[in-house]
Amino acid sequence: MTTKNIRFGVWAPVHGPRAALQDPAEPFDASWSHNRKVVLEAEALGYDSTLIAQHTVNPHLPASDQLEAWTASAALAALTSRIEIISAIKPYIYHPIFLAKMALQIENISEGRFALNLVNAWNRPEFEKAGINFAEHDDRYAYGREWISVVSRLLRGETISHTGNNFNISDYALTPKDLYRERPRIYVGGESEPARALVADHGDVWFINGQPLNDVQSLISDLRQRPRQGVALRFGLSAFVIARDTETEAHAYHRHLSDLAAKDSDIRAVQKANSDPKVVMLQTMAKSPRIGSNGGTAAGLVGSYDQVAERIQAFHDAGIELFMLQFQPLLTEMRTFAAEIFPRVRKITRTPAQAKYSEVVR
């Protein structure tokens, strides 16, 4: 669907519905078969990317299913032909050498369509129950900075020797190298100061959690002013979409999902207790009522088809290139968005005056 630098992606349902866990129209399904169906249909509809979030246990319902991100990404790489596959990674879980090897393998299976999304963990039990130290927020980012510096060089095909606070590596190289470009694209999430510094130095695309346009403009402005080596940083936005024929219908459905989400209050309370309070994502999401994860409807993509298309254009004018979208019920809404919003965006899209974007990694 790529139109003058606007791309649309879909969050894979790796741990069930995004807005409400007790929705009769969206039964819980985090299975491989369901995720495969969603991603294959997203590709057929013209979506450009899919994001496979990484959790070892379900962060909402610990006794329920949770798709494993990296094995699923490898399978999707073989099954698809066009869509970009973005797999999230929490650095503490994998040594950088072995993660880089897996990333290069999936990159070559996909013929140059793989990307990794570096994220700072927030769910304490996932680590602590496995006996893995859950360091303080800024210490996790310091670890992640050293980790990605090693991974990035290995992905580029370099032979590296590295001595740091966390890793001691001697004369290491990985083959085969990337057969299709310099290296896979690196997305980075997080909005704290350590996260911003990390993405400015090591990221290709910054994933911003869903929030109002003015806040997104401020975040982009801050990153654009920071010193950076190489090509310009690009920007993505997470958003939960509710689009209907009329604004009234969209807001009515928003209220319906909000009522359903209220039934999950006990589950959300446990999730909040398990979360690191220093994670800026959680602080951002607490600013205003919303449904969906990673900011959800706070981005304001709730309204008529024309309104949603115009708001997407406004975010694009501010610098957003990739919209990573959530829907519920997922398949139905994903189809409607493709049928109604894609053509409207094609019609109104204009090149942003602020900057011209080029491919980060060719």
Per-residue pLDDT for the chain (362 aa), expressed as one digit of tens each? 545 589 999 999 999 999 999 999 999 999 999 999 999 999 999 999 999 999 999 888 888 999 999 999 999 999 999 999 999 999 999 999 999 999 999 999 999 999 999 998 788 788 888 898 887 899 999 999 999 999 999 999 999 999 999 999 999 999 999 999 999 999 999 999 999 999 999 999 999 999 999 999 999 999 999 999 889 999 999 999 999 999 999 999 999 999 999 999 887 776 776 676 665 555 555 666 799 999 999 999 999 999 999 999 999 999 999 999 999 999 999 999 999 999 999 998 755 443 343 333 33
Q: Is residue 180 part of a domain?
A: yes
In a domain, 357, yes or no: no
Flag whether 65 is in a domain. yes
pTM of this prediction exceeds 0.85: yes
> What domain count does the chain have?
1
Measured CA to CA, the distance from residue 131 to residue 191 in angstroms comes to: 27
Alpha-carbon gap, residue 262 to 161, rounded angstroms:
52
Question: Which range marks the domain in which residue 19 is found?
Answer: 7-348
Dist CA 166 CA 124 (whole Å): 20
Q: Is residue 189 part of a domain?
A: yes
Q: H helices of the chain, where?
A: 32-45, 69-79, 96-109, 124-128, 137-155, 193-202, 213-224, 247-262, 265-274, 280-285, 305-318, 330-348
Can you name the residues that pair with 51 across neighbouring β-strands? 11, 86
CA 97 → CA 109, 142, 166, 175, 268, distances in Å? 19, 18, 13, 12, 36
Question: The tokens of 230 are what?
Answer: 């190489």
Chain centroid to Cα 169, Å, comes to: 30
Phi, psi of 84 (to 5 degrees): -75, 135
d(C-alpha 39, C-alpha 74), whole Å? 13
Task: Give the CATH number, domain containing residue 338.
Answer: 3.20.20.30
